[in-house]
């Protein structure tokens, strides 16, 4: 049996009620972790938490939080500590894509994007790292994108925010290795997610995926479960010697390694 050493670990996943975050919550819960998911829509969040708990038999807690608001992150960590008395794993998964040209984006849009994708991760890490240190270590995964390494034209502000997330990952990995806290990032390419479903509008999402797959060397769009498998491995005992890396999950799409 390929034992990942996740049974009884306490994991927080932001943006965990849908898509990539939910798939990760299901995977970690299936490995026996105690899972806390957060999202903005209370009813949808609680339904997701209930469904995951029933599917896996694990303890799954839903905490309504908007991670772009500092006080919501504080409350998320407080509720987690009140319920489980610790944090071993943090997956900074929340975020949305925004892509436009420089002259199309105003200061408010820049600030909102950086707050959601950079400062949310900074604040969450700042809160959980002292807890992890006291517990003898931990693992953090930051979701970023391959465009953070090799940005396309008119891909702002997302690629700048995600580049900052990659930099943050390496910086924290170097700073907290001495505390046995590992920090890695998964650089997402084209993966099936709720964002693509919303973008499809009246179009069948599968038809959109077929069109997008022509860009990918492997000839298909990645599954949410494949992202979840990678994140789960990176936070597991099997990845105990891996920290400070930015792993592409993109079917070979990016020019950057």
DSSP assignment string, 97-135 = --EE-GGG--HHHHHHHHIIIIIHHHHHHHHHHHHHHHT
Predicted pLDDT of residue 203: 84
| Residue ranges with strand state E in 146-207 | 156-157, 181-188
Structure tokens at 85: 């008395």
CA atoms of 109 and 135, how far apart (whole Å): 38
- The Cα–Cα gap between 229 and 231 comes to 6
Give pLDDT, residue 1: 55
Look up the pTM and report it: 0.96
3-state secondary structure of 249: strand
C-alpha triplet 108, 45, 10: angle, nearest 5°: 100
Count of CB atoms situated within 10 Å of the CB of 45 = 20
Tell me whether residue 80 is exposed, middle or buried, using C-beta atoms within 10 angstroms of its C-beta: 0 to 12, 13 to 18, 19 or more.
buried
Quickly count: other Cβ atoms within 10 Å of residue 128's Cβ: 26
Bridge partners (DSSP) of residue 143 are: 186
204 DSSP assignment: -
> Which residue pairs, CB below 8 angstroms and at least 24 apart, start in 83-88?
83/36, 84/10, 84/34, 84/36, 84/59, 86/10, 86/131, 86/135, 87/10, 87/11, 87/12, 87/128, 87/131, 87/132, 87/135, 87/138, 88/9, 88/10, 88/11, 88/132, 88/135, 88/138, 88/139
pLDDT by 10-residue block (mean), the chain, 257 residues: 90 96 98 98 98 98 98 98 98 92 97 97 98 98 97 97 98 98 98 85 89 96 98 98 98 94
Q: 2 is written with which tokens?
A: 């390929």
The predicted structure's pLDDT at residue 7 = 98
Q: What span, in angstroms and rounded, lies between the C-alpha atoms of 249 and 152?
A: 17
C-alpha span between 19 and 226 (Å, rounded):
12
Q: What domains can you pick out in the chain, each with its CATH number?
A: 10-191+223-249 (3.40.50.720)
Is residue 142 a contact partner of residue 169, using CB atoms and an 8 Å limit? yes
Question: What pLDDT shows up at residue 207?
Answer: 92
| Confidence (pLDDT) at 142 | 98
């Amino acid at each position: 049996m390929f034992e990942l050493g996740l049974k009884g670990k306490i994991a927080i996943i932001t943006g965990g009620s849908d898509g990539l975050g939910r798939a990760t919550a299901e995977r970690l819960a299936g490995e026996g972790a105690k899972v806390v998911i957060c999202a903005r829509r209370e009813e949808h969040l609680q339904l997701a938490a209930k469904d995951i708990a029933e599917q896996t038999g694990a303890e799954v807690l839903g905490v309504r939080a908007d991670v772009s608001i500092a006080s919501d992150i504080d409350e998320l960590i407080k509720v987690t500590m009140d319920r489980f008395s610790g944090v071993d794993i943090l997956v900074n998964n929340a975020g949305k894509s925004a892509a436009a040209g420089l002259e199309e984006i105003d200061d408010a849009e820049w600030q909102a994007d950086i707050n959601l994708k950079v400062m949310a991760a900074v604040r969450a890490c700042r809160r959980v790292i002292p807890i992890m240190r006291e517990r003898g270590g931990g693992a953090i995964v930051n979701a970023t994108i391959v465009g953070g390494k090799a940005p396309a034209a008119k891909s702002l502000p997302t690629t700048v925010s995600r580049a900052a997330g990659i930099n943050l990952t390496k910086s924290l990995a170097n700073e907290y290795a001495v505390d046995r806290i590992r920090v890695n990032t998964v650089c997402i390419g084209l993966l099936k997610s709720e964002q693509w479903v919303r973008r499809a509008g009246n179009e069948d999402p599968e038809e959109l995926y077929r069109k997008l797959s022509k860009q990918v060397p492997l000839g298909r769009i990645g599954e949410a479960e494949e992202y979840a498998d990678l994140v789960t491995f990176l936070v597991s005992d099997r990845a105990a010697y891996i920290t400070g890396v930015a792993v592409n999950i993109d079917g070979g799409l990016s020019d950057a390694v």
